Amino acid sequence: VINDERTLIAVKPDGVQRRLVGQIIQRFEQRGFKLVGLKMLQVSEDLLSQHYCQLRQKPFYPSLLQYMTSGPVVVMVWEGLNVVQTSRAMVGHTNPAEAQAGTVRGDFSFHVSRNVVHASDSLEGAQREIQLWFQGNELLNWVCCDQTSTYEL
């Protein structure tokens, strides 16, 4: 494996409802990242309370739970060189009003409470979130045919 850094990207209910999943996947594929896990699910409050454990005391937490359980989410694990940091830049600022054009949120999001996508914020966060959302056997280790042309060996 050239670089096994991984991150969790989740298309939130508003992104799924608005049929943006394909366009979001396309951006990560075009960037050269490798998809190693993908699933669609209706998220439980239990999983969300673990995922958003640092936000439980915030006043917006109940509305966040309501929003995230309002429809299906598509959750993915992407692998590649500096994938955590690069994904954060690709996704854009949490508040779409401050997100640059060309980022997922800058192009598709209208309001901070409906910001289309989640991206892990650190290597440690990514590892924690991936373990929370995926069983080990749901993640694939595979060699992508373009690896030798996209990475220096």
Instruction: Identify whether 118 is a catalytic site residue.
Output: yes
**Residues annotated as binding site for ATP?**
12, 60, 88, 94, 105, 115
Cβ count within 10 A of residue 69: 16
Residue among 8, 14, 1 nearest 116 (CA) = 14
Cβ count within 10 A of residue 46: 8
Which of 51, 93, 111, 118 is an active site residue? 118
**Residues annotated as binding site?**
12, 60, 88, 94, 105, 115
24 within 8 A of 54, measured Cβ to Cβ: no
- Alpha-carbon dihedral angle through residues 84, 25, 40, 68, given to the nearest 10 degrees: 60
The residues annotated with a catalytic role in the active site are 118
